[in-house]
Amino acid sequence: MTAQPIAMGSQKQGRPEGETNKAVRPQEEEPPSTLPPPPHAAPTAAAIALASTRKVNRFPVSREAREFYRRFYPGSTPDEWNDWRWQSRHRIRTLAELERIFVLSEDERSAAASHKGSLPVGITPYYATRMSLTDPMEPLRRTHVMVGAENIRLPGEDDDPLGEDHDTKVPGLVHRYPDRVLFLTTGFCSTYCRYCTRSRVVGNPGGEYQFSTGQWEKALAYLEQHTEVRDVLLSGGDPLSIGDEKLDWLLTRLRRIKHIEFLRIGTKIPSVLPMRITRDLVRVLKKHHPLWMSIHVTHPSEFSPEMSEGLSRLADAGIPLGSQTVLLKDINDDIAIMRPLMQGLLKRRVKPYYLYQCDPIKGSGHFRTSVDKGLEIIAGLRGHTTGYACPMFVVDAPGGGGKILLAPDAVAGRDGDDLLLRNFEGRIYRYPDPEGSLGRRLALPLAAE
């Protein structure tokens, strides 16, 4: 069958000035770092030593992965499989590739065949090993293989539900909160999530943002002038899809701005392309502390020996790791899923940070739960497991209101000088609070009368 491109996926990504490697590369490449490394002169002693270290620190290959690449990529080697550039070059991007690997439902097939514009299909071969090849309802597959419901736009849904375009000061730089900014570094992701808040931007060559070096320079100039900004969150797209040299260049430029105290990177790479966490990348990241990282995770079936190795490398480099998870209907909206996900993150030295209510991005209605469901999940975690395993549940207010924290209501009422509080088991306890007013407006709960 002839391959039908679902989307071109190419994007402009100019080469930042100041990079030391002058090897000739096209100015436009996609993904930004999938070209083979530039030709080098004879290896130095240091390079040979580094290569031997790399061998020792080789990524594990899980049994599922080994079976998968032998079946679908015969002739490829474990070294190729564990090369993140190979993974990026072999991403599943066309209907023909989907059909070669998955048994598609009619809904999936027709949605993929008719898809146009941004948010194309994109799945790394590694991430496909975490999915069911036969069951369209398997959670990770549902988050990455398009279905017809994406074409239904419900009331309240929007292309840019968070109003990021409104708070964009220069292309790719969103300045909404007083002391921090969101820096959109690239429109490329190694996999494309069907519920992506930035579906208008990602995988959209020639679209709203071009993510060129010139754009980065404008954002850097804005940041140099705005001394109130002390915290920069690099996102996209996925910043870790950018090659080491470019990323190092950008982090160095940001670090030179004296009033920026703190850098953060939001990424899904450890879940979908863990072999990207190379020793070289870790060396680059370590140079730019304090650097924090938010890891996008969805479901415990993402946990693998490969992901554990990637997270371990990041944690060993002293990078504080947090997680962010979007609450998704019939995917992770169950305490029996969410508890092992949060506990599994802790075991891998990632602090569960945010649980997001799914943003009303257009075509995402089939993913969205009620807000009650998020509170139910938090109530099922808090007190029932380690406090560190409890993320904050937030609704990102449509129209640019920012994140609003929601938690199960612990205030049960007031009885004279006593504040009445509800514990994780629903029992009411008195707390002496003679100077307080909290709970006065609530009725006295029966249990406390």
Tell me: does residue 356 bind ligand SF4 (CB under 6 A): no
From the candidates 91, 359, 368, 414, give the one annotated as an active-site residue. 359
Question: How many residues belong to the chain?
Answer: 449
C-alpha span between 23 and 39 (Å, rounded): 8
Residues 65-94 that bind ligand SF4 (CB under 6 A): none
Q: 91 or 198, CB closer to ligand SF4? A: 198
Q: Spell out, one character per residue from 252 to 271, where the chain touches ligand SF4: x when CB under 6 A holds, - when not.
A: ----------------x---
420 binds ligand SF4 (CB under 6 A): no
Q: What are all long-range contacts of 128-135, with beta carbons under 8 Å and residues at least 24 apart?
A: 128/68, 128/92, 128/101, 128/102, 129/62, 129/64, 129/65, 129/68, 130/64, 130/301, 130/302, 130/304, 131/102, 133/101, 133/102, 133/103, 134/102, 134/103
Q: Which member of 90, 91, 141, 296 binds ligand SF4 (CB under 6 A)?
A: 296
* 200 counts as binding ligand SF4 under rule CB under 6 A: no
Residues 6 or more apart whose Cβ sits within 8 Å of residue 41 = none
Helix (H) or strand (E) holding 367: none
DSSP state of 110: H
Q: Nearest distance from residue 9's CB to ligand SF4, in Å? A: 12
Q: Is residue 350 within the footprint of ligand SF4 (CB under 6 A)? A: no
SS3 154: coil
CB 335 within 8 A of CB 381: yes
- Is 313 designated active site? no
Rg of the chain over Cα atoms, rounded to whole angstroms, equals 23
Options 30, 97, 160, 238; binder of ligand SF4; rule CB under 6 A: 238
What is the enclosing helix (H) or strand (E) of 292? strand 291-296
What residue type is assigned to position 216 of the chain?
W
Residue with smaller CB distance to ligand SF4, 197 or 421: 197
Active-site entry in 73, 177, 222, 429:
177
Looking at the DSSP bridge assignments, the partners of residue 267 are 295
Residue 77, SS3 per DSSP = coil
Cβ-based neighbour number of residue 67 at 10 Å:
11
Residue 189 interacting with ligand SF4 (CB under 6 A): yes
Complex with ligand SF4: residue 14 or 31, whichever CB lies closer: 31
Task: Give the active site residue among 85, 176, 286, 382.
Answer: 176
Q: Which residue among the candidates 83, 130, 160, 196 is catalytic per the annotation? A: 196
Exactly one of 173, 202, 220, 420 binds ligand SF4 (CB under 6 A); that residue is 202
Residue 48 has, within 13 A of its CA and on its CB side, a CA count of 5
Q: Which of 120, 91, 80 is nearest to 31 (CA)?
A: 91
- 362: Cα separation from own chain's centroid: 19
Q: Which is nearer to ligand SF4, 61 or 238 (CB)?
A: 238
Q: Is the CB of 142 or the CB of 414 nearer to ligand SF4?
A: 142
Distance of CA 90 to the CA centre of its chain: 20
The single residue of 69, 91, 160, 193 carrying the catalytic annotation is: 193
CB of 196 to ligand SF4, least distance (A): 3
CB of 144 or CB of 253, closer to ligand SF4: 144
Which residue, 248, 279, 183, is CA-closest to 19? 248
- Which of 196, 314, 331, 381 touches ligand SF4 by CB under 6 A? 196
From CA 172, how far away is CA 212, in angstroms rounded?
10
State in angstroms the smallest separation of the CB of 270 from ligand SF4: 11
Q: Minimum distance from CB of 267 to ligand SF4 (Å)?
A: 8
- Is 396 an annotated catalytic residue? yes
From 16-24, 193-201, 212-220, 424-432, give the range in contact with ligand SF4 by CB under 6 A: 193-201
Catalytic, 177? Answer: yes
Give least dist CB 70 to ligand SF4, A: 28
Rounded-to-integer distance, Cα 241 and Cα 247, Å: 9
Does residue 198 belong to the site contacting ligand SF4 (CB under 6 A)? Answer: yes
| Closer residue to ligand SF4 (CB): 184 or 342 | 184
* 25 has catalytic annotation: no
Give all strands of the β-sheet with 321-326 in edge-to-edge order. Answer: 168-170, 173-174, 180-184, 231-235, 262-267, 291-296, 321-326, 351-356, 392-397, 402-406
Q: Is 140 a residue that touches ligand SF4 (CB under 6 A)?
A: no
What is the set of active-site residues?
A: 176-177, 180, 189, 193, 196, 198, 359, 396, 403
Binding site for ligand SF4 (CB under 6 A): 189, 192-193, 196, 198, 202, 236-238, 268, 296
